[in-house]
Structure 1
Amino acid sequence: MKLKTAKRWFNWHKWTSLICTIFLLYLCVTGLPLIFHEEIEHLLEENKEAVATPQKLSLDKLAQIAESKYPNEKVRYAFWDENEKNKILFDVADRPDAPYEKSKYLVLKEYTGEILGAPKTDGLMHIILKLHTDMFLGIPGKLFLGVMGILFMISIISGIVLYGPIMKKYDFGMVRKNKSKRLQWLDTHNLLGIALTAWMVVVGFTGVINTLSDVILGLWQQGQLAEMTAPYKNQQPLTGNFSSLEEAKKAAERTITDMKVSVIAYPGTPFTSKHHYAVFMRGNTELTSKLLKPVLIDAKSGSVTDTREMPWYVNTLFLSEPLHFGNYGGPILKIVWAVFDVFTIIVLITGLYLWLARRRAEKQQQLLITKEPLS
């Protein structure tokens, strides 16, 4: 590699790394507990077992129980968690398009209607999640972290370009222990960085995609969802009583027999129209369980009006979020993700140390030059 080209790559690596390092440290530290968020939440929350009895209550009855807890407010979402058997989570709010901060959540037994409590939306894990995803700044915070992720990807690529020529002169993975402390840190930084490259690319790339979730939702709403609900565009919004929620669920299950219901969105929410229930189905395998397929149900007649595969960009988001946190393949992969996360923190700290040490050495050298007597 020519000296001029190498210097250019070095500057790319140095400045992109410096700009994003503090934020990446912040993301690595907040991301570490989120890898085990399910296990931590299970320990922190009071868990009551939902024991099965001969027959489940209808969804309409369960929704009435949830609404009775909060007079003058209505259910707008129903959720099923594949890890929580015989339970249903309702989102209740004063209007369908209310901000998520206004949501009230209730977990009910599907067989008895007993209220098991509410998941904590202001607890420690929720705070860490908000810090990690948008720094409590909403969409601007997400997009800012997305820019930091892009800089991170550039620093990785430039690091790879620089590492190749360096290793032509030395053994791969060498750490010069008999040299200065700064060179030992440099070798450690380079070794861990190149060893973690694949993982950092995966986590960095999926992180950038996750920061675009609101953009992707908007594209889906204006694209596929608008096409699916186009025949109802000029109709008056439904008011008053909707058709049976239970029958909407059964209609979706009859339409797609090899998937199960994951979420039902009421009319007027951002994930459907003002005329439809949107029943989102998920697959039964480790991979397809991360994907959703919408079935639209006319909330007046109860009939299925449309169902389609999600666009590629939405599926990319669905697959990116669990991959970002190592949520594939059980606890073993989570442990691997956590170990790599810790090593990445070391890479970032050593990179920051090397920059500070280099600046200090340059200042000392400049000081010596200025003190030299004139000949």
Structure 2
Amino acid sequence: MRYWYKIHKWVSLICAIFFLLLCITGLPLLFKQEISNYNSLQNTEKVQRTASYAELWSAVNAGERLIQQQYPHKIIKAITAEPSEGRILFRLAGRDDKENGAGLHLGMGSQIAYYPQDNMLFDWNSEKVKYAALADFMHEMHVWHIRMGLGKDAMLFLGFMCFLSLICLISGLFIYKAFMKRTYFAEIDKRNSLSKYFGWHKFLGIISATWAALLCFSGIMIVLFAFGYNAYMHTASMAAVNSLSGTAKYNGSFSQAFVFMQQKYPQRNILAVEFPDRKNNNQYIFSITDKEFSASRLKAQLAFVGEDTKGQLQSFTEPMPLYLSLAGKLMDLHLYNHNNIVLKIIWAVLDIITIIVILTGIIGWGKKKFSLVAGNADFSAFSLGVLSKRMIWQIPLIVMGLSLLAMLLPLPVFGRWGTVVAIVLWDIVFLIGIYHYLRNR
């Protein structure tokens, strides 16, 4: 137990600032869509209508014609369907070689959103906002949250900090029993300020432990996926070159290639398409995924389409490695299980609770060190009774079990009712905490 305590203390001191940074920057990002809608001068009602993949892809030709009319000097480099927003994203590039090659995964070129239900184009590069400072603030929060304001390599360091934070949370559970032998769950020891800080640290730590642990774990998965997917794209591209080495430059239309892919992969959703150019060996690159897991283009399998010398369409796809598919599903715990505004508010409360846990731990550690050095620690008020293991762990295990279910049920695979049940479970968790706090005051 002594070693677990040392691990918890020193690992906490190492990663506390970084964990605190993630919590602080993540708080406004929970409401980034709502803030963006509020700050945008665009008619936000038009971006809230949902549509199916089939509806969006059937409207691509209409969007393409509109783009050709309004952007005659641009060419389409990539198309992405976003059913949750009811829109199609066209990535455009200039016709000259310098600007060409701004494909789907490179994130270059201008991006135009097309809303089929309104037959309207919206240029994201010229978006007008009410408050530029607010938009800049949200951008900075995003940059600091994913890579601490540094380059992409900082994601590795941040992933390591997530790992240390996870170790910190796990070690905290191992030492929880030793510090709760004479204290009931949610009972705040008020003998002195040191006991009070650690009392809040232990109580609120249990409330937010599962939430924080899963976010740290899924944060590690995000970093793993980000670097692994880049390697997968390179491997898939090289394999496609070898497999389709006999194909000539593709001269067919996008519609032909799209229908070909629909027929070849009827059980898949097509999330995005990158158009042929020199950099992708003059082939279409389709991002496809199982229909049950279509939340993000970033998790899609790549499929390449080209034409052989006889004009027949040929395709090649490289399955994603198992570890990458698993990481892609696990990072949904970080990204796609709080899309409901009520869940966002709940997550904000949990975020604030976690910030309090971190701060009370730091302050408590400082006060403990001062008290021990000065000889001011007061241990005279300890209860003589020792709680059983069952009494120590019963409520915390119930809280953590309910929290785990509340984190899993909002995932897209469980549908709307999963979200409803998750909200109820979080309410129960909070009520348990409030009830025991009031009972043991």
Q: TM-score range by the shorter chain?
A: 0.7 to 0.9
CA contact (8 A) 1:76 1:96 kept: yes
> Are 1:280 and 2:287 matched, yes or no?
yes
Distance in structure 2 (CA, Å) of the matches to 1:244 and 1:225 = 21
- The Cα of 1:265 is off from its aligned counterpart by 1.9
CA contact (8 A) 2:102 2:109 kept: no
Q: Name 2:302's counterpart in structure 1.
A: 294
CA contact (8 A) 1:267 1:276 kept: yes
Distance in structure 1 (CA, Å) of the matches to 2:79 and 2:150 = 27
Q: Say if 1:315 and 1:268 are closer, same or farther in 2 by CA, change over 3 A.
A: farther
Distance in structure 2 (CA, Å) of the matches to 1:302 and 1:63 = 27
1:121-175 per-residue CA deviation (whole Å, 9 max, x = no partner) reads 9934333222211123222221111111111011112111111232234333432
Which structure has greater helix proportion?
A: 2
Identity score, percent = 24
- Give the AA of the match of 1:195: I
> Are 1:324 and 2:328 matched, yes or no?
no
Q: Name 2:154's counterpart in structure 1.
A: 141
- The Cα of 1:263 is off from its aligned counterpart by 1.1
Distance in structure 1 (CA, Å) of the matches to 2:207 and 2:172 = 12
| 3-state DSSP of counterpart to 1:92 | strand
| 3-state DSSP of counterpart to 1:295 | strand
Q: Name 1:209's counterpart in structure 2.
A: 221
Of 242, 250, 258 in structure 2, the residue corresponding to residue 230 of structure 1 is: 242
| 3-state DSSP of counterpart to 1:196 | helix
1:64-121 per-residue CA deviation (whole Å, 9 max, x = no partner) reads 82696383x5432211111222x31112241325795643211124478642231659
CA contact (8 A) 2:222 2:331 kept: yes
Q: Name 2:417's counterpart in structure 1.
A: none
CA contact (8 A) 1:327 1:334 kept: no
Q: Say if 1:132 and 1:255 are closer, same or farther in 2 by CA, change over 3 A.
A: same
Superposed, 1:121-160 pairs within 5 Å as 123-124=135-136, 125-160=138-173
Superposed, 1:98-247 pairs within 5 Å as 100=106, 102-110=108-116, 114-118=120-124, 123-124=135-136, 125-177=138-190, 179-232=191-244, 238=249, 242-247=251-256
Number of aligned residue pairs: 351
CA contact (8 A) 1:261 1:281 kept: yes
- Give the AA of the match of 2:43: N
Distance in structure 1 (CA, Å) of the matches to 2:226 and 2:312 = 30
Q: Say if 1:101 and 1:244 are closer, same or farther in 2 by CA, change over 3 A.
A: closer
Distance in structure 1 (CA, Å) of the matches to 2:194 and 2:349 = 25
Q: Say if 1:43 and 1:145 are closer, same or farther in 2 by CA, change over 3 A.
A: same
Q: Name 1:79's counterpart in structure 2.
A: 80
Of 15, 18, 24 in structure 1, the residue corresponding to residue 19 of structure 2 is: 24
Distance in structure 1 (CA, Å) of the matches to 2:242 and 2:230 = 16
CA contact (8 A) 1:67 1:75 kept: no
1:273-314 per-residue CA deviation (whole Å, 9 max, x = no partner) reads 4242122234444x5545534332116757241245533233
| 3-state DSSP of counterpart to 2:85 | coil
Distance in structure 2 (CA, Å) of the matches to 1:150 and 1:67 = 51
Q: Name 1:251's counterpart in structure 2.
A: 260
- Give the AA of the match of 1:16: V
Q: Say if 1:252 and 1:235 are closer, same or farther in 2 by CA, change over 3 A.
A: closer
- Give the AA of the match of 2:306: D
Q: Say if 1:96 and 1:321 are closer, same or farther in 2 by CA, change over 3 A.
A: farther
TM-score, with structure 1 as normaliser: 0.79
In structure 1, runs of 5+ residues without a counterpart are: 367-375
Q: Say if 1:23 and 1:90 are closer, same or farther in 2 by CA, change over 3 A.
A: same
- Give the AA of the match of 1:281: I
Q: 114-123 vs 204-213, which deviates more?
A: 114-123
Q: Say if 1:326 and 1:289 are closer, same or farther in 2 by CA, change over 3 A.
A: closer
CA contact (8 A) 1:56 1:111 kept: no
Of 257, 272, 277 in structure 2, the residue corresponding to residue 263 of structure 1 is: 272
CA contact (8 A) 1:149 1:204 kept: yes
Distance in structure 2 (CA, Å) of the matches to 1:70 and 1:20 = 52
Distance in structure 2 (CA, Å) of the matches to 1:70 and 1:10 = 66
Q: Name 1:373's counterpart in structure 2.
A: none
- The Cα of 1:183 is off from its aligned counterpart by 0.5
| 3-state DSSP of counterpart to 1:96 | coil
Q: Say if 1:166 and 1:363 are closer, same or farther in 2 by CA, change over 3 A.
A: closer
CA contact (8 A) 1:88 1:109 kept: yes
- The Cα of 1:62 is off from its aligned counterpart by 0.9
- Give the AA of the match of 2:142: L
CA contact (8 A) 2:282 2:306 kept: yes
In structure 2, runs of 5+ residues without a counterpart are: 94-98, 377-441
- The Cα of 1:235 is off from its aligned counterpart by 7.7
- Give the AA of the match of 1:202: L
Q: CA RMSD in A?
A: 3.6
Q: Say if 1:66 and 1:138 are closer, same or farther in 2 by CA, change over 3 A.
A: farther
1:187-226 per-residue CA deviation (whole Å, 9 max, x = no partner) reads 1101221332221111001111212344212331344554
1:244-294 per-residue CA deviation (whole Å, 9 max, x = no partner) reads 222222222222223332111234699xx4242122234444x55455343
